[in-house]
Amino acid sequence: MELLSIVLAAGKGTRMKSKLHKLLHPVCGKPMVGHVIDVLKGIDCKRIVTVIGHEGEAIRSYLGDEVEYVVQEKQLGTGHAVLQAKSLLENEEGVTLIINGDGPLITAESLTKLIEVHKDTNAAATILTAELDNPHGYGRIVRGDNQYVTRIVEQKDCSTEENEIKEINTGTYCVNNKKLFQALNQVTNHNAQEEYYLTDIIGILKQQNEKIEGYVLKDSNESFGINDRVQLAQAEKIMRDRILQQHMRNGVTVIDPVNTYVEAEVTIGMDTTLLPGARITANSHIGSSCIIGPNSEIQNTTVGDYVTIKQSVVVESSIESHTNIGPFAYLRPGSKIGEHVKIGDFVEIKNATIDHHSKISHLSYVGDAKVGKNVNIGCGVVTVNYDGYRKHITEIADEAFIGSNANLIAPIKIGRGSYVVAGSTLTEDVDEDSVAIARVKQTTKKGYANKLKNRIKNKTNN
Ligand code: UD1
Ligand code: CA
């Protein structure tokens, strides 16, 4: 039986108070609708139809052609929303999973279980439900004497008795595709909100003596839907805990989970330790046996094994194995750091390759540069890459030694094994195996210090 799905994403999301479409607000770095779509792809949905409406173009440009779209011009209710998919899906044989785009915490395991129950029981529809201490606001699951589901009643249409029911409709369902569209044709808007309720198909199918099942979520958090920014933060926290626990189970040590932030797409190898304040985002991939933190931010970066990154910021870069970064280093986009490299305190690297075994230990700026192997860059070295109009390249060949406080005015090449004397300001290329010195010769006036001091002290301003 083919698995189809319909994602409801046409709502306005006004309570977010945002210019950004509600469903594009990220949860642990990934837009909430992205989480839902990824879960659907993970359970092998043959077709995913997304119902878009208000500012749907934003959703379309994020999801691209990974899914199909139908547009619901007016938000007349969830039943009306699903009906928009009719032209695309009505002839399909199979099971249709209907899911809300604003529930990023749902897991592939639970959906697989829901589908299993649906198939094993031969039900026409199976509802994913949850037991909540406070069910207020949700549609309630009404079960008959034999515990079979008979219908769903919306909060606003509840009797006092129904109001007490703790089992709620999560808004996710598995429905026989043909029966879904046949039942939807009969849904009306005769209710408190004058909306076409998708939930009414349950009562309709029941009256046709179809079997309805309910599958209760083991972890009711998975049904959490986001409507405002308070709920956004709550979802973020639940997902963050989940992500960290997954890494811990895979062999990553997290010293202080409350103060550690790892986004959804990040991978981390075994025996890596995350210290407090580590924040690893986007498509970052961290190898094994690394130490990250305390207080380090790593964005969209690939890191090898046995790397330490301490109190540093690393953005869109790559760092190979056995390299130490920080404390207080800033690796800006395009930094490619080799193996056994040291990037020390207050060093900034940008768009530069630093090859194996090189050292930049303190207070340097290396930008738009190509640094070879075994190079030593002393304290306070600056690659002067910008003339106010254009960026220029600095090339430093293998084994070179750049003395402290040298300025390398680019474009410039320092040859293999060369030695740049401390304090030099170089404007010309240096051949291999050469010594370059470019600074004024020192003069020392013996016994003159006191004289000079007095002269300065007694100087008047007029
Ligand atoms: C719905 C269910 C309720 C369930 C709850 C779970 C109905 C009638 N009720 O209620 O039983 O407990 O979800 O969260 O279905 N949408 C559209 N077009 C519309 C209306 C809604 O695409 O015309 C989308 C929304 O963007 C949202 C989803 O459908 O993603 C649910 O809509 P919402 O209005 O939030 O439904 P609830 O009233 O919460
Ligand atoms: Ca809702």
Q: Which atom of ligand 1 is nearest to the CA of 154?
A: 11
Query: Distance, CA 240 to ligand 2 centroid (Å)?
Result: 22
Q: Which residues surround ligand 2, an ion (CB under 5 A)?
A: 225
φ/ψ (deg, to 5) at 156: -70, -15
Strand intervals (E) in 241-329: 253-254, 261-262, 267-268, 273-274, 278-281, 285-286, 291-292, 296-299, 302-303, 308-309, 313-315, 318-319, 324-325
Domain residue ranges in the chain = 3-223, 251-436
Catalytic residue among 35, 54, 118, 362: 362
Q: What is residue 286's predicted lDDT score, i.e. its pLDDT? A: 98
- For a mutational test of ligand 1's pocket, the pick from 37, 59, 74, 78, i.e. the residue with the most ligand atoms closer than 8 A to its C-beta, is 78
Q: What is residue 269's predicted lDDT score, i.e. its pLDDT? A: 98
> What residues contact 379, with CB distance under 8 A and at least 6 apart?
361, 362, 363, 364, 404, 405
Q: What is residue 388's predicted lDDT score, i.e. its pLDDT? A: 97
Query: Distance, CA 344 to ligand 2 centroid (Å)?
Result: 50
| Of 291, 294, 333, 286, the residue nearest 312 (C-alpha) | 294
- 3-223 folds as Spore Coat Polysaccharide Biosynthesis Protein SpsA; Chain A (3.90.550)
Are β-strands 95-100 and 167-176 bridged in parallel, bridged antiparallel, or unpaired? antiparallel
Give me the long-range contacts of 18-22 (CB less than 8 A, separation at least 24): 20/58, 21/55, 21/58, 21/59, 22/102, 22/226, 22/227
> Which DSSP helix (H) or strand (E) runs through 240?
helix 229-249
Please state which CATH class domain 251-436 belongs to: mainly beta
Q: Which atom of ligand 1 is nearest to the CA of 22?
A: 26
DSSP-assigned letter for residue 179 = H
DSSP-assigned letter for residue 137 = T
Which ligand minimizes its atom distance to the CA of 128? 1
Query: Distance, CA 78 to ligand 1 centroid (Å)?
Result: 5
Low-confidence residues of the chain: pLDDT under 70: 461-462
Q: Which atom of ligand 1 is nearest to the CA of 53?
A: 22
Same fold, 3-223 and 251-436: no
Q: What is residue 462's predicted lDDT score, i.e. its pLDDT? A: 61
